[in-house]
Structure 1
Amino acid sequence: MEVEMKIRGLMMDPVTNMPIVILKDANGGQILPIWVGIYEANAIALEIEKVSTPRPMTHDLIKNVLLGLETGVRKVVVSELRDDTFYAVIWLERDGEIISIDSRPSDALALALRLDCPIYVEEQVLKTSKSTANVSDKVTNEELRRWLEGLNDEDFGRYKM
């Protein structure tokens, strides 16, 4: 089963100094932090801030290609968590045909923001990420989860939704 999520914000991990995209479900009960690379975070931040660039960036190019081919993005799904790596699928629709495309979550999220399509996370991914947090580095991950759940708008700085 898929849980609809929204991008709550983008922030830096205070421990690793790596960017984190924070997904939160519509009811506000579950969060999912996804660590991403600097360049991927920049692509997401540009769209959150609605910054236009002089030339199309990669995700803008993909959006333009899809629109030019009259292909819609129905949804993106963070579909799996395997060996501490998240996987995603972009679901396209063209002429009534549904096409699934394997993707990194950061690229899927950057595209979802640009095309204003829904973001989902498989329920199993949410459960697995919680159980992973319980098994390894229990204290650190529990503290991080409490910290993430307690964030307010000021904690996100400029990059909040």
Structure 2
Amino acid sequence: MSTTAIHSEAQTAAPDEVEMQIRGLMMDPVTNMPIIVLKDVASDLVLPIWVGIFEANAIALELEKTAPPRPMTHDLLQNMARGLNATVRKVVVSELRDDTFYAVIWMEQGGETVALDARPSDAIALALRWDCPIYVNRTVLENSKLAVSGNQSASSDEMKKWLENLNDDEMGRYKM
């Protein structure tokens, strides 16, 4: 792939990527683990991703625009990238393998494009700090048993209703 094609891909969505936004952050009532709920900007499709408590905290702080007294890890990474004249252009939840999501952080530095492997929670935390788009690969949405839209099975319909009917208290203060 040429540098120009990679450069262009880092700036915009590839044809197989769906732009998502954070619908909310919540706690799973069964596992007591945090969930990031992503929603397709163009439809009612939602994708929950379970994350660690520290990553959820880093995302929540940025959603609330709360500045910690000292830089957190994601703030450090943003400061380091800026210090190296790099820019995060987008993040993509790129793969679902063995019930584990994978992500790629697309950065530009010195005219070069760099794709970095990352956990989705870390990629999303950085995307919020850089105010860049979050995408999910279409195959991830198609293969995820938890991605739900209007034309899915009964169990997915139940999950969809549960996610759509969450009130603001259940979703935290992060509803977008």
Alignment of 1:19-98 (within 5 A): 19-98=34-113
Kept in 2: contact 1:76–1:90 (CA 8 A)? yes
Residue of structure 2 equivalent to 1:16:
31
Per the alignment, in what secondary structure is the counterpart of residue 145 of structure 2?
Answer: helix
Kept in 2: contact 1:88–1:102 (CA 8 A)? yes
Residue 25 of structure 1: how far off its partner (Å): 0.9
Residue 144 of structure 1: how far off its partner (Å): 2.7
Residue 132 of structure 1: how far off its partner (Å): 8.8
Per the alignment, in what secondary structure is the counterpart of residue 144 of structure 2?
Answer: helix
Give the counterpart of 1:104 among 75, 97, 119: 119
Residue type at the aligned position of 1:45 = A
Residue 61 of structure 1: how far off its partner (Å): 0.3
Q: Which consecutive unaligned segments of at least 5 residues does structure 2 have?
A: 1-15
Tell me, in whole angstroms, the C-alpha distance in 2 between the residues paired with 1:139 and 1:83: 23
Alpha-carbon distance change, 132 to 51 in structure 1, aligned in 2, over 3 angstroms: closer
Tell me, in whole angstroms, the C-alpha distance in 2 between the residues paired with 1:160 and 1:112: 17
> TM-score when scaled to structure 1?
0.89
Tell me, in whole angstroms, the C-alpha distance in 1 between the residues paired with 2:147 and 2:23: 22
Tell me, in whole angstroms, the C-alpha distance in 2 between the residues paired with 1:69 and 1:39: 26
Kept in 1: contact 2:48–2:146 (CA 8 A)? no
Residue type at the aligned position of 2:34 = P
* Percent identity of equivalent pairs: 66
Q: For residues 97-156 of structure 1, give each alpha carbon's deviation from its aligned partner in whole angstroms, at most 9, with x where no partner exists.
A: 1110000000000000011011000000000003899xxxx8766533321133354532
> TM-score when scaled to structure 2?
0.82
Residue type at the aligned position of 1:59 = H
Moved more, 93-102 or 103-112: 93-102
Moved more, 49-58 or 149-158: 149-158
Residue type at the aligned position of 1:3 = V
Q: Does 1:129 align with 2:158?
A: no
Residue type at the aligned position of 2:115 = S
Residue type at the aligned position of 2:113 = I
Tell me, in whole angstroms, the C-alpha distance in 2 between the residues paired with 1:128 and 1:46: 31
Q: For residues 1-33 of structure 1, give each alpha carbon's deviation from its aligned partner in whole angstroms, at most 9, with x where no partner exists.
A: 000001111001122111000000112321110
Kept in 1: contact 2:89–2:108 (CA 8 A)? yes
Two-structure CA RMSD over aligned residues (Å): 2.0
Alignment of 1:111-150 (within 5 A): 111-130=126-145, 142-150=157-165
Tell me, in whole angstroms, the C-alpha distance in 2 between the residues paired with 1:5 and 1:132: 12
Tell me, in whole angstroms, the C-alpha distance in 2 between the residues paired with 1:154 and 1:14: 13
